[in-house]
Chains A and B, each alone.
Chain A
Amino acid sequence: MNGDRAAVSLPGVTTAPIPTGAAAPAATVSRTRLLWLTLRRKPLGAASAALILLLVLSAIFANVLAPYDPLETHPEIRLAPPCREHLFGTDDIGRDVLSRIIYGSRISLWVGLLAVGIGTVAGMIIGLVCGYWEGRIDLALQRLMDAVQAIPGLILALAIVSVLTPNTTNAMIAIAIVIIPGNSRIVRGAVLSAKQNRYVEAAEALGCRNLHILVRHILPNVTAPILIIASIWLGNAILIEATLSFLGLGTQPPIPSWGLMLSSTGRAFMEQAPWLAIFPGLAISLAVLAFNLFGDTLRDAWDPKLRRQG
C-alpha cells in the first residue's frame, strides 16, 4: 500500500508543470497539492506541520492559553517543582514557567517571521538583480555578499546588536542581515537557470520590459527554493534569537524569551531546579526541529533536485 501511494505521487513530483507567469493560479494549486501528498506520505513532515501549527496557535492565543500572568511573581512558591498547578514548575521569583514559555513563543515567532521576511525579500531582490543582469553589478554585489558571509552569522549578529542597543528589534535586524547573502545566492542561481527558458527569450523578443520579465516570467520559478530556504531559516532565526538572548544581547528581562529564560534563571538554579533549564530549551529545540523538518518536507515535495544543496 505504501509503495502504491509512492507510485501515485511520484509522477506528480517529477512531471510537475513548471509554473509560468500566465499559469500562476494553477501552479499554486498544484504546489499545495504536492505538499499535501508529501505530508500524507511522510509522517515526520505531518508531525512538523502540526508542531508549527501548535506554535502559531500558542503565540496567537497566549493570553487565553497561559494559566497565569507570565510576569506575576509569587515569592512564596519560588522554585516549585512541576506539579498540577504549575505543570512546568515556577522560577526563582515564583513565575509560572509554562505561562512564560507560552508567551515566549510570541517573541520567537515574531522575531523569526520578521527577520526571515526582511532577509528573504532583500536577498531575493539582490539575487534577482545579480542573476538577471549579471556583469559588473553581479560581480560587485556577490563579492559584498561573500564579505558578509566571511563573518560567521552569530558573530556578525553579536557585533551588530552590540553596536545598536541589545533588544528584540535589533536582534531581529541583525538576524535579517545574516540571512541576506545565502538567500541572494540561491535566488541568483535559480534566476540564472530560469533565464535559459525559451519563454524568457520569447518575452525579450516581444519587447517586454525587464521588470515585466523579472516579475511575470522569472519570479514564479524562484518562489519554490525561496519558500524552502525560508522555512529552514525560520528555525535558524529562532535559534539565533535564543542564542543572542542567552548571551544577554537579545531580548531583555523581564520579557519572557526562551533563550533568556535559560540563561537568567535556568543556569543559575540548574542544580536545585533543572526544570528551569529543561523546558525552555525543549521549547527552542522543538520549534527549530519543526521548521527544519518542514523545510525538508517542502524540499521533498517541490524540488527533489535541491536536496543536495541543503
Chain B
Amino acid sequence: MYKYVLRRVLLAVPVLLLSSLIVFGLMRVMPGDALTVLMAESGNIGEKELQKLRKDLRLDLPYHEQYLLWLWQMVSLRPGDSLLTGERISTSLWKAIPVTLELTALAMVLGLAIAVPIGVLSATRQDTTSDYAGRMVAVSGLSFPDFWLGTLVITFAAIWFKWIPPIGYVSFWESPTRNLQQFLLPAAVLGFRLSAATMRMTRSTVLEVLREDYVRTAWAKGLGGRIVVYKHALKNALIPVVTVIGGQLGVLLAGAVVIETIFALPGMGRLTVEAILYRDYPVVQTNVMLVAATLVTLNLVVDMTYAWLDPRIRYR
C-alpha cells in the first residue's frame, strides 16, 4: 500500500506541473500581453501608467522567470491581486470557496440519493418498464443542458408558485433556512446532471454482481430479496461506483460554473467566469490552477480509497 501511494503521488506531481505550464502558457498566448488587451477594452490609461502596471505585475520579466514567480506564488498560497477589483485573490477565494463547497456537496448528496436507488431498481427489474424509465432519466440527465434546466426551474417556480429564490447570498451560519432556500434548487439541478453517470454505473455493476455465486448462495439460503440486494449485492457493487464519482468531480465543478451564474451564487464558478469575461488574468490562472490541483488531489484520494477497498488494484 505504502509503495502504491508513493508511486501515485510521484506521478501526480509532473501532471500538476504540466497543467500549470498549460495554464500559464494559455494566459501568455493572448495577442500582445494581458495588459494591452485589458487597456484596449477600457481605453483610458496612458502609456506611462501602463509601463508602471506592467512592472508591478512583473510582466517585464522573461517568460521563464514569470512562470517561476507565479509557481512560487501558487505554492506559497499568495496569488497576488485581482486586476479588476484590486482585491487580494486569496481574500476573494476565501469568500467564494465555501459557497461552491456547499453547492457541490449538496449536489453530490442529492445526486447519489437519486442515482443509487434508481440504478438498483433498474438492475433488479432489468428490461421492464421501470428499467427503461430509469435509463431514460439517466440519458436525459446527460443530455439536458444544466443552464436550461436551471432557467426553467427559476421561471416556472416564479410563474406557478410565485416563488423567487431569496436574493443576496446568506451563509448557512447566518440563516440556515434562507441559505437552504437559495441552495436547494441549484443543487438539485446540478445533482440531477451528476446522477446520470452514477445511475448507469450502479445499474451495470449491480447487474454484474447479481450473477455472482455468493448472491446465488444468498438466494439459495432463502434470504429475503431486500437483504440479498442491499446487503450482499449493493455493498460490492458500489466499489466501482466510487471511481465514477471521482470522475464526476470535474463535471461537478464545471456545472458549478454555469449553475452559480444562473442562480447568482457568489462561488468559485461565477468568480472564474467573471474573471474570464473581463480578462482578469491573475484571477483566471489562479482559479483554473486551483481547480486542476483539487481535481488531481481528489482523484488521487479516490484511487487510494479504491486500492484500500480492493487490494488487487495495488499490484497492477
The residues of A with any CB-CB pair to B shorter than 8 Å are 143-144, 146-148, 150-156, 158-160, 162-164, 235, 239, 242-243, 246-249, 259, 262-263, 266-267, 270-271, 274, 277-278, 280-281, 284-285, 288-289, 292-293, 296, 307-308, 310
Contacts and interface: CB of A to CB of B under 8 A. Distances in A.
Contacts of B27: 163
Interface residues of B, number: 50
Contacts of B262: 267
A155 B19 contact: no
B139 interface: yes
Given A162-B279, A163-B27, A270 B295 contact: no
B288 A289 contact: no
A interface, by DSSP: helix, strand, loop or mixed? helix
B145 A270 contact: no
Contact of B147 (A162, A164, A262, A288): A262
A288 B145 contact: yes
Nearest to B276: A162
Instruction: For the complex of A and B, list the 9 residue pairs with the smallest distance between their C-beta atoms, beginning with the closest.
Output: A281-B148, A147-B18, A154-B254, A289-B143, A152-B250, A288-B143, A152-B254, A270-B155, A150-B292
Contacts of A263: 147
B15 interface: yes
B22 A147 contact: yes
A152 B268 CA distance: 13
Given A155-B272, A155-B288, A289-B139, 6 more contacts: A151-B291, A163-B30, A248-B277, A249-B277, A281-B144, A284-B145
A300 to B, nearest CB: 12
B151 interface: yes
20 contacts: A143-B18, A147-B19, A151-B291, A152-B291, A155-B257, A158-B257, A162-B276, A239-B145, A243-B145, A246-B145, A248-B277, A266-B151, A267-B151, A270-B154, A271-B158, A274-B159, A284-B145, A285-B144, A285-B145, A310-B200
Interface of B: 11, 14-19, 21-23, 26-27, 29-30, 139-140, 142-145, 147-148, 151-152, 154-156, 158-159, 200, 204, 250-251, 253-254, 257-258, 261-262, 272-273, 276-277, 279, 284, 288, 291-292, 295-296
A308 to B, nearest CB: 6
Contacts, number: 139
A152 B154 contact: no
Nearest to A269: B155
B316 to A, nearest CB: 14
Contact of A151 (B23, B151, B204): B23
B19 A150 contact: yes
A151 B139 contact: no
B139 to A, nearest CB: 6
B23 A293 contact: no
A154 B152 CA distance: 21
A146 B295 CA distance: 11
B147 A154 contact: no
Given A151-B291, A163-B30, A288-B143, A247 B296 contact: no
